[in-house]
Amino acid sequence: MTPITIRNVRREDCPRLLELIRELAVYEKAPDEVTVTPEQFEDAGFGESPVWKAFAAVDGDQIIGFALYYIRYSTWKGCRMYLEDLLVTESYRGRGIGKLLFNKLLEEAREKNYKGMVWQVLEWNEPAINFYKKYGASFDPEWWNASISF
């Protein structure tokens, strides 16, 4: 068995990441919500003005998980990492791969001197909540999510 490696995502990884994003959408009971096109996704990560970065968990030559983030600015704290998605494909869960990805995110945030990391987790996703609690994450029930779609 080859060891799992964590590396930066490359442009050619985008189709596989979209497969995993669709897997995540199914898990989160929102399979029809993924509407980004492959071209939009690739351009947003590797185009003229990239807005996201990601790390891939790789077994041999297959991406089996990823963590995608971008930088947001807090007027109170400064630059903070926003974890958009963290997913390990179902057949690889429970092997510590999520921990490898999450630790890589924390390492990146510290190296770049960000003032923390924020993310969302669905209230019913107990495996994820328990995972984040192991890191001492705090959960804020006072703030509601809001969005406008176009």
Cite the DSSP H helix spans in 7-88.
14-27, 38-46
In contact, 67 and 85? CB cutoff 8 Å: yes
In contact, 67 and 82? CB cutoff 8 Å: no
Tokens at residue 72, please? 């947001």
132 is catalytic: yes
Write down the catalytic residue from 70, 73, 132, 135: 132
For residue 1, give Cα distances in angstroms to 7, 60, 87, 90. 18, 9, 21, 18
> How many CA atoms are closer than 13 Å to the CA of 38, on its beta-carbon side?
10
The DSSP bridge partners found for residue 53 are 69
**Active site members:** 132
